[in-house]
Amino acid sequence: MKKRYKLLSILIIALVFVADLHAQSTAHVAANIEGLNDGKIIFSYELNDVLYQDSVQADKGIFSRKIAVTESVRCTLSNSVNKQINIFVLEKGSVTINGEIGKFYELNLSGSKENDLLNAYKTALYASPDKKPKPTGDEENDKKATKDFVSKQQIFKDSVLSTFVHAHPGQIAAAIAILDLYVTYPDRPKAALNFKLLTNQVQQSSYGKRIKTFIDAAVNTKNGAVAANFSLADKNGKRFTLADFKGKYVLIDFWASWCMPCRKEHPNLISAYNHYKDKGFTIVGLSMDSSKENWLMAVEQDKLPWLQLNDPKTTGGAAAEIYGVKSLPANFLIDPTGKIVASNLRGDALELKLKELLH
């Protein structure tokens, strides 16, 4: 009998532990949105390059949902009524949402400390006392006044972010703030300086890892560095990695249909490809187009004969991030052993480099 009670006690403790663990990795969302009626709500977020989506049907504007989250995440909430969206930071625990469908982007959200902190930071970030100078008609003075204004704005934003990160180094919101200000608008030294202030736990979060990847790209893409592997799909969904081309000189070309400088370079790439394709050289195009139709139309129009892969997440995708690509065009020449030997070759620079390497 005692053994039974002991086993039962162990089982109860185990169940409580599992339930507690589940609660720690779940956000409980309860909402009342006027005008939503029986509309559909969609939750979506991305972590570690994986997209998570869930949906729920409202009943007279009321709904509740348990959303699996391993860490605090920037979540996009959309609805089937007017297609408006609301972006907020979702975290473990209970979250309440209230508002009206006509102002879906202004929903009131409570229960997420991370969201409150990020919103407070954004309010401070855009509360600069300086006003944009009005044109005076004097072109030279107007340019100088605008330049001074932009410089002051940046100094102000740097100060606001630094204060925020110093005050909240253990919050995911701090990592998101760094990502938005210094990765989206690339500034590696400032990103690195603020990244060091974050706690180890936040540095190891999905957002922290993205900042670290951006910082490390400066070293990882230098000549002599081993080129980072990637995996992307062609138009038919077949996946390729950089390792598939080992043994050849390969130019990884980041481009997009909407990038005119990229497309002006295509005749130079075609010339180099035709001259050296039978001498151990190839090109792999990495399209940063979010539209498959536009991507494939540009490939056909420019008559590009080499393998084309696509990342619809554009420069926010994994391939662009590990190579530190934030603007187009960009390219990297990799030797048969997998090391980077040159980058951003424009005009006849590619052919001259290949002539040096393959003759």
Whether residue 242 sits in one domain with residue 215 = no
* pLDDT at 13 (0 to 100): 45
118, part of any domain: no
- In tens, the pLDDT along 235-278 reads 999 999 999 999 999 999 999 999 999 999 999 999 999 999 99
The residues near 63 (Cβ < 8 Å, ≥ 6 apart) are: 30, 31, 36, 41, 56, 57
Domain that holds residue 76: 2-111
Strands 249-255, 281-287: pairing is parallel
Give residue-wise pLDDT tens across range 81-140: 999 999 999 999 999 999 999 999 999 999 999 999 999 999 999 998 888 888 888 788
Domain shared by 82 and 144, yes or no: no
For residue 337, the model assigns a pLDDT of 95
Task: For residue 321, give the CATH number of its domain.
Answer: 3.40.30.10
Classified as helix, coil or strand, 81 is: coil
Share of the chain above pLDDT 70, in %: 93
* Residue 59 confidence class, pLDDT cut points 50, 70, 90: very high
pLDDT in tens, 197-206: 999 999 999 9
Residue at 333 is within a domain = yes
- Going by their DSSP bridges, the two strands 307-310 and 281-287 should be labelled as parallel
- Establish if 210 belongs to a structural domain: yes
- Assigned domain for 116 exists: no
Same domain membership, residue 300 and residue 260: yes
Domain boundary among 220, 247, 275: 220
Q: Which of 188, 220, 252 is the last residue of a domain?
A: 220
Same domain, 304 and 330: yes
Model pLDDT, residue 85? 95
Same domain, 279 and 179: no
Q: What is the mean pLDDT of residues 73-85?
A: 95
Residue 134 lies in a domain: no
Q: Give the CATH number, domain containing residue 62.
A: 2.60.40.1120
pLDDT tens, position by position, 206-243: 999 999 999 999 999 999 999 999 999 999 999 999 99
Do 13 and 46 lie in one domain? The reply is yes
Residue 220: per-residue pLDDT: 92
> Is 316 among the domain residues?
yes
Does residue 327 share a domain with residue 246? yes
Q: Whats the size of the chain, residue-wise?
A: 359
Of 220, 245, 276, the domain-final residue: 220
Query: Is 314 in the same domain as 350?
Result: yes
Nearest to 228 by CA among 329, 323, 333: 323
Confirm whether 127 is domain-assigned: no
Quote the tokens at residue 268: 């130079």
Question: Are both 332 and 250 inside the same structural domain?
Answer: yes
Residues 6+ apart with CB under 8 A from 88: 74, 75, 77, 107, 109, 112, 115
Residues 213 and 238 grouped into a single domain = no
Tens digits of per-residue pLDDT, 332-351? 999 999 999 999 999 999 99
pTM: 0.84
* Residue 258 shares a structural domain with residue 216: no
- How many domains, the chain? 3
Give the pLDDT of residue 139.
Answer: 82
Same domain? For 106 and 146 the reply is: no
pLDDT cut 90: percent of the chain above it:
82
Cβ count within 10 A of residue 280: 15
- Determine the 3-state secondary structure of 215 from DSSP: helix
The secondary element (H helix, E strand) that includes residue 309 is strand 307-310
Q: Is the pLDDT of residue 280 over 90?
A: yes
The mean pLDDT of the chain is: 91
pLDDT band at 4, cuts 50/70/90?
low
- Residues 169, 170, 175: CA angle, nearest 5 degrees: 65
- Mean pLDDT, to the nearest integer, of 19-45? 83
Residue 235 lies in a domain: yes
Say whether pLDDT at 22 is over 50.
no
